[in-house]
Structure formats: structure tokens, C-alpha cells
Amino acid sequence: MTRRGAYGGCGRHLVKVVILAGGFGTRLAEETDLKPKPMVEIGERPILWHVMKHYRSYGHREFLIALGYRGEIVKRYFVEEHVLAGDMTIDAAGRRIEQTTIGREDWIVHLLDTGERTNTGGRVRRLADRLQDGTFFATYGDGVSNVDLDRLLRFHRSHGLAATVTAVRPPARFGSLTFDGDLVREFTEKPQIGEGWINGGFFVLEPEVLRYIDGDESSLELDALERLASERQLAAFRHEGFWQCMDTLRDKRLLERLWSAERPPWKVWR
């Protein structure tokens, strides 16, 4: 019996994962002046790493990272992680460096420049030649969730449509007040219940979606997904569990607090 979220897994069909990691992150300017938003750290690891670990925990290990703003920072991170992970022996006299153990991660990462100002759809379109061989995941490099990727993929395939978006209920950005006359009956910082569903990323897409993207200026959301919805080719997988993007410093601090807790809600890996 295979544990849900375990590596590999019982005939599971593995698919490629596209991660959009090229935006400027202007609402997080204090952190993104010198680095792209996916490289902002949560618990001393880039949030991009957290996103990748989630997919890897379901067995998916081939990633196409669509780079843009400060893409060299992302490349440097993965190069250093690969070269410096594990133990090494340096033979100074023989001018030789040998890695004696390897690091923990076994993923395959394609770091692909997709233009500094390319829109989300354009970034996916630039990867088209690598995405023609079947279903693929796509998501943003700045949001984490505990969405069950096995269920998501089964849901997508059961509907036979071109695309599936994971729908989430956003957590409240402000605490709520309940009144009793002029007195506050209840003050809470808990997420509000009953807010509308929004696009939470964690897409499953078929190669035909690429035909809905014209060029670098195309938005994956406003151009491709809106057209797919109008043609009844876009399914919504409703995720009631944890989801949180990192748009602001407030979001980052929240994720830091959650990561420091005993059981971070998006950490489904061991």
C-alpha cells in the first residue's frame, strides 16, 4: 500500500510541471528589489523550493521553470544546490574536487529564460516545444497549498477537457469584527468563511491549450483560460483545504509563522 503523497507510487503517471517564476513582485518590493519573488525565503528556503517539494511528494520530478526578472538568481541557486550539496573531497595538489555524497533532491530542473516582460501565457507558449507530449501541470512560483495532486489529476482526466484550474477560497486579509450594539462581540483574525472562489493556480493543462496563446503579450488567465471557459473547456477542481499566495510582506510573515509551527499546513512531504 502506498502512502498518499509518497515519492513515486504504484503505477502513477508522472507529468511535467511548469512553474511561472518570472514576475517582478512589485507588491513585495522590500524583498524583490534584488531577487525574483519565487526566491523569497520561507524558513530559509525559497518559496519556489516549497512549491517544488509539494509536486515531488506526489512523484512528479521534472520541472520547467519559466524565468524572467533576475532569472540568474534562480539559476545560481540550483547550480549551488547541486554543486555544494552533500560531502566533497578537495585534492588541492591534484587540483581535483570530488563529490562523495549527493544531495537529497533528485528532481530534473529545466531553467528556461522566457523574457523579462513576457506575460504569463507568453511564458508558457515559449515552452511549447517541451510540452507537446501530453498533459502537464502549471502553477505560480509564489503560492503554496496542500491540494491533493493525485485527486486533481484524476479529476482533470475524468472530465476530458483542455484545462483544469484549482479553485480556492482566499484567506481573509483582515480580521473580522462582530458587533453587539456599540460593543465588539467578537474579534477574530481567522480566515473569513464564505468568500468567493478564486483562481488558485495548480492547473492541469493539455497541449491544445497552447493554441489559445498568441505571443509574449498573452495572459494565461485573461486570454487562454477565459476563452476556454467560454467554450466550456475549463473545469474547476474545488480545493477546500489550505492555500496561501505570497503577494505582500504580511503574507510572507504569515507563511513564516506557519512554517515555524509543528505541522506547516502545506508540508505534505517527510
For 167-178, what is each residue's pLDDT tens digit? 988 766 555 555
Residue 4's pLDDT band (boundaries 50, 70, 90)?
A: very low
CATH for the stretch 16-167+195-260: 3.90.550.10
In the block, cell 541557486 appears at: 77
Reduced 3-state DSSP string for 33-65: CCCCHHHCEECCEEHHHHHHHHHHHCCCCEEEE
Q: What is the pLDDT of residue 20?
A: 97
Query: Could you tell me if 159 and 235 are in contact, meaning their C-beta atoms sit under 8 angstroms apart?
Result: yes
Q: What is the pLDDT of residue 84?
A: 73
pTM of the model: 0.85
Residue 27's pLDDT band (boundaries 50, 70, 90)?
A: low
pLDDT, mean over the chain? 85
Share of the chain above pLDDT 70, in %: 81
Estimate the share of the chain in helix, then strand, then coil, as percent rounded to the nearest 5: 30, 25, 45
For the cut 70, the answer to whether the pLDDT of residue 70 exceeds it is: yes
For the cut 50, the answer to whether the pLDDT of residue 86 exceeds it is: yes
For the cut 80, the answer to whether the pLDDT of residue 220 exceeds it is: yes
Query: Could you give the CA distance from residue 219 to residue 183 in angstroms, rounded to a whole number?
Result: 47
For the cut 80, the answer to whether the pLDDT of residue 261 exceeds it is: yes
For the cut 70, the answer to whether the pLDDT of residue 232 exceeds it is: yes
For the cut 70, the answer to whether the pLDDT of residue 188 exceeds it is: no
Beta bridge partners of 198: 168
For the cut 60, the answer to whether the pLDDT of residue 7 exceeds it is: no
